[in-house]
Amino acid sequence: MPYWQPPGFFRWKLGTLLLDPTRLSSARLREFENMNNWRGRLREAELRTGAYTSGDTRAILRRVRVPTLIQWSTHSTYLAATEAEVFQAWMPHAPTEVILYPQAGHLMVLDAPDATGRDARAFLDRTVGV
């Protein structure tokens, strides 16, 4: 049984999450449709989102003890750039690094794939030597 979203929903929704909606190719749009159109997806999304709205986020982040890279957009329509510092403060036991991406919307890996990938690789090289 397909997920309840109409065909144009994903194009509209993803367009609101990107700083540059022209980066949303037809192939990428099909990937998101396939990833989200499956039985049980709505319930899974409700459960996942509930972790953020129930007040548990701070408690979860306080348990993090490993090096953590926080990649954050300055143009997200959902989360202000200042929230990156909040997440960092909520991880007092983990060495953290924050990188802000002014050239990206909420979906940074689509708006700035080269920069986010390069920064993630550099972080892993410095912290775990992958």
- Residue with the bigger pLDDT between 38 and 105: it is 105
The CATH code of the domain that includes 40 is 3.40.50.1820
Flag whether 71 is in a domain: yes
Flag whether 98 is in a domain: yes
How far apart CA 49 and CA 51 sit, in angstroms, is 5
Flag whether 4 is in a domain: no
Flag whether 22 is in a domain: yes
β-bridge mates for residue 38, sequence order: none
Nearest Cα neighbor of 97 from 88, 89, 105, 106 is: 88
Confidence (pTM): 0.74
Measure CA 102 to chain center. Answer: 15
Question: Which residues span the domain enclosing 13?
Answer: 9-127
SS3 99: strand
Flag whether 3 is in a domain: no
Structure confidence by residue, pLDDT tens digits, 19-47: 888 888 888 888 877 777 666 776 777 77
Flag whether 1 is in a domain: no
Per the structure, how many domains does the chain have? 1
For 17, residues 6+ apart whose C-beta sits below 8 A from its C-beta are 76, 77, 78, 105, 106, 107
Residue 108: C-alpha distances to residues 3, 93, 96, 98, 126 (Å): 25, 26, 19, 14, 22
- pLDDT given at position 85: 95
- pLDDT given at position 1: 43
Flag whether 54 is in a domain: yes
